[in-house]
A and B are shown apart, each in its own frame.
Chain A
């Protein structure tokens, strides 16, 4: 039983990291209906920019602030050059545009900062927590716990921002009904800049946490793929869904690896979430928390 909990906790903590990636997708999808394929590239770009500035001798926190500024500029540029000319185009067009955008961001990131893998040290090691180990014998990583704490803090900040402030309300309003939002005086363009900046901020936090664990490298862009089963499980337009989806994916892949793996030859961790998501699609295509779309004919 103790082993079960150890695996479960490890899985849940890893799941929080998946939730972070999915959160970036959800933010943009909610407000603009765009599935932003470039979210993975943004994670990579944000982390690389931070590490890049830091390696130039800039203090770490300043480097983070500079990276945030760069992500804001990127959001403004994206709205001006990509979204605005394509307004009122079909969703698939915008989706294709974000694929193009992802190549552009990946290219410019490596052009500016080089293609080497860089280490990132947040000052927290990936070691078991001693007192928990002593008391219960469970192996829970210090890094995972801190990362989860940061992620939880981020989600709490976003929740307050979305529910208690004018801009948050405007964001929800735009997500609900574009026409009505315009009529009460909400500028869509401004909202899109804010949403993409927020997604950029989430990408930065995600990039720093994943980069600290796996190194800041091109493979960070593939995190976008890891977010897919999370999004399918949780629903594309729900922040709560992204969190719960991430937890389910994290916990289920670890538990499956440990308990099912030996029977089928192991190594199922990497594909189990996709199978789970596939099965889920058949039962509840809108996800656990997604908005059910009813088409009237």
Chain B
């Protein structure tokens, strides 16, 4: 992991975020930043609030306290489709693809925000609308090539094996050409080979497209290999923040993962 990749300023700043569902506290005063062009991991035991954190960043949940600033702009309340419009794309822990639609169509929905033709032009299928479709098809085909899923382009996503579905979901997020990519357990339930493929794709995305990545992952080996810096959450609080090596040696992290005698 070269240090040069982490040279940029903060793209995302999470400040003092607290989130509760009724009496259940999911996040408590969590602050961290994500620098431009880095791979940032969020780790922690089950129920630590990792997914809640991602959901706050892309506006699925609205925190009771604290702010999230993206590209230096603070927003009090962001909805998911607004977050997408600002350049935040994501994948889900339990794959959330459009199961009835083909791989190609799934990726095309990712380009939704980039397309400009009005509803009326589309309804009549006028020339500009058709040209626009073709133009975006090319971009999508490039992503399909990149992820090596040419052979299933026309297959309905629901029929694909799990590992490929994960890859399609990454593809749909990439189709939006995001500045910030949120990945919620991109390698959950995969075998070693699939994990290696996925790691390679994530690193390539980060390198070639310059996309900043925030990912949640359980596999420690993967996290240590992929990420530039790691945030550790436990019971909704941040207990450590630093490079993989620093985090690995941190006593509170070891306690959280292995348990500690009281």
How far does the alpha carbon of A187 sit from the alpha carbon of B112 in the complex, in Å?
10
Q: A165-B133, A169-B101 are in contact. Are A183 and B125 (CB under 8 A)?
A: no
- Report whether B89 and A176 are in contact in the complex, using a CB–CB cutoff of 8 Å: no
Closest Cβ–Cβ distance, residue A172 to chain B (whole Å): 6
CB neighbours of B69 from chain A (8 A): none
- Report whether A165 and B123 are in contact in the complex, using a CB–CB cutoff of 8 Å: yes
CB neighbours of A187 from chain B (8 A): 81
State the interface size on chain A (CB cutoff 8 A). Answer: 26
| Contacting residues of chain B (145-199) with chain A, CB-CB under 8 angstroms | 172-173, 176
Check: B40 CB closer than 8 A to any chain A CB: no
State the interface size on chain B (CB cutoff 8 A). Answer: 35
- Report whether A177 and B98 are in contact in the complex, using a CB–CB cutoff of 8 Å: yes
- Report whether A186 and B109 are in contact in the complex, using a CB–CB cutoff of 8 Å: yes
Chain B residue at minimal CB-CB distance from A197: B119
Q: A164-B133, A176-B100, A177-B97 are in contact. Are A184 and B123 (CB under 8 A)?
A: no
Q: Mark A186-225, 1 if CB is under 8 A from B, else 0.
A: 1110000010000000000000000000000000000000
Closest Cβ–Cβ distance, residue B81 to chain A (whole Å): 5
Closest Cβ–Cβ distance, residue B140 to chain A (whole Å): 11
CB neighbours of A161 from chain B (8 A): 122-123, 125
Q: A184-B176, A187-B81 are in contact. Are A169 and B112 (CB under 8 A)?
A: yes
Q: A176-B99, A184-B172 are in contact. Are A168 and B84 (CB under 8 A)?
A: no
Q: Mark B59-79, 1 if CB is under 8 A from A, else 0.
A: 010000000000000000001
- Across the interface, A185 reaches (CB within 8 A) one of B85, B108, B133, namely B85
| Most chain A Cβ neighbours within 10 Å, of B96, B125, B133 | B96
Known: A169-B105, A172-B98. 14 other contacts (CB 8 A): A165-B129, A166-B117, A169-B112, A172-B100, A173-B98, A173-B109, A179-B80, A181-B98, A181-B109, A182-B81, A184-B89, A184-B172, A185-B85, A188-B81
Q: Which residues of B contact A (CB under 8 A)?
A: 58, 60, 79-81, 84-85, 89-90, 92, 96-101, 105, 108-113, 115, 117, 119, 122-123, 125, 129, 132-133, 172-173, 176
Q: Could you list 24 examples of A-B contacts with CB < 8 Å?
A: A161-B123, A161-B125, A164-B125, A165-B122, A165-B125, A166-B112, A166-B115, A166-B133, A167-B123, A169-B101, A170-B112, A176-B101, A177-B96, A177-B99, A179-B80, A180-B92, A182-B80, A182-B81, A183-B84, A183-B90, A184-B84, A184-B109, A185-B176, A186-B112
